[in-house]
């Protein structure tokens, strides 16, 4: 937390004949702002140090900071919507007001070269009590001549920082989220290809397939069938996103209710599209007459696919 007292007293005031390098704001009929109780005026945008800024002038003082009898002047950072998460810009700045009689500028800045940190929650820094209003409007002081005044700004960016971020959205498992897809495979004993895929189905706004290898994969070849859940549409998880799915793959027992199933939770992304098992079930057990998994050479495979979490980069 900033120490407001220290902020007020650690201010450097200086005089210079050199005008501000980055922006000048000329205000005509300044008294109209005061008399009509205009809260503040924000200038046009200007560029400095690769960023966009505005001068903000409170002609009657910044009432949000309980300022009285002073003019408040601030530097505000604008056009920050495209910045990444956690951005920070460290700045040394100077704010000016012209003494038109002496043709010189009164300059206010933080003492000892103090840097100010602009970020998403703090887009404005400056001086609550930039100059006493009575001193400012006294024409003999030169700041307001012919009801016209001139302010200015110089902005020197010293350092920028930006971090990355992630948002993980989890949901609870409900009957509505637990989508089930049924795949009926006929002539199972006559399957000759290395692998087979189900039709595409949608669960949790994602597209999926069941992948079946009837003769097994790798060390499971000839002894087991291998079965996997596959994420199809990778366009929804670009940029390092991940999907958490708590899925069940099942072979239905067509004679009894003792189905054969396995359940797992997997984080899937563009480099990990599959979740499942090389050794899903032994072929001998699957083919054994009376076990109910193959009836009239038909095998019924099911997938329950609740998507319980999605992680996306911020």
The pLDDT tens digits of the residues spanning 236-260 come to 777 678 889 999 999 999 998 899 9
- Look at residue 261 and tell me whether its pLDDT is greater than 90: yes
Place of tokens 């899937």: 268
At 21 the pLDDT is 94
At 102 the pLDDT is 96
CATH fold for domain 4-161: 2.60.210
- Residue ranges in the chain assigned as alpha helix (H): 4-9, 30-35, 133-137, 283-287
At 167 the pLDDT is 78
User: Is there a common fold for 4-161 and 166-313?
Assistant: yes
Total H helices, total E strands in the chain = 4, 22
Average pLDDT, the chain: 90
Q: Tens digit of pLDDT for each residue in 156-188?
A: 999 877 656 677 888 887 776 788 999 999 999
Burial (CB count within 10 angstroms: exposed 0-12, middle 13-18, buried 19+), residue 23: buried
| Domain ranges (residues) in the chain | 4-161, 166-313
Tell me the C-alpha distance between 156 and 95, whole Å.
12
Q: Are 313 and 240 in contact (CB under 8 A)?
A: yes
CATH fold for domain 166-313: 2.60.210
């Amino acid at each position: 937390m900033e120490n407001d007292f220290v902020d007020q007293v650690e201010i450097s005031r200086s005089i210079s004949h050199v005008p501000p390098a980055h922006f000048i704001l000329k205000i005509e009929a300044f008294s109209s702002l005061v008399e009509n109780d205009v809260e503040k005026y924000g200038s046009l945008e200007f560029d400095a140090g690769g960023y966009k800024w505005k001068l903000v002038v409170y002609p009657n003082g910044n009432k949000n900071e309980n300022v009285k009898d002073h003019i408040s002047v601030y530097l505000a950072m604008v056009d920050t919507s495209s910045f990444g998460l956690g951005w920070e810009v460290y700045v040394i700045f100077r704010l000016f007001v012209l003494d038109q009689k002496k043709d010189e500028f009164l300059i206010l800045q933080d003492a000892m070269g103090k840097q100010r940190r602009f970020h998403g929650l703090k887009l404005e820094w400056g001086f609550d009590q930039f100059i006493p209003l009575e001193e400012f409007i006294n024409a003999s002081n030169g700041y307001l001549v012919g009801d016209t005044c001139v302010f200015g700004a110089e902005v020197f960016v010293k350092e920028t920082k930006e971090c990355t971020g992630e948002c993980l959205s989890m949901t609870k498992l409900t009957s509505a989220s637990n989508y089930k897809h049924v795949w009926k495979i006929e002539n199972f004993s006559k399957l000759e290809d290395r692998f087979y895929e189900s039709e595409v189905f949608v669960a949790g706004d994602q597209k999926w397939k069941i992948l079946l290898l009837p003769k097994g994969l790798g060390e499971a070849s000839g002894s087991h069938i291998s079965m996997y859940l596959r994420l199809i549409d990778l366009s929804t998880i670009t940029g390092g996103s991940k999907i958490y799915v708590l899925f069940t793959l099942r072979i239905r027992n067509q004679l009894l209710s003792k189905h054969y199933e396995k359940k797992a939770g997997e984080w899937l992304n563009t480099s990990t599209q599959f979740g499942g098992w090389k050794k899903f079930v032994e072929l001998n057990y699957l083919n054994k007459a009376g076990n109910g998994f193959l009836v009239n050479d038909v095998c019924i495979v099911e997938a329950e696919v609740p998507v319980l979490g999605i992680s996306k980069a911020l």
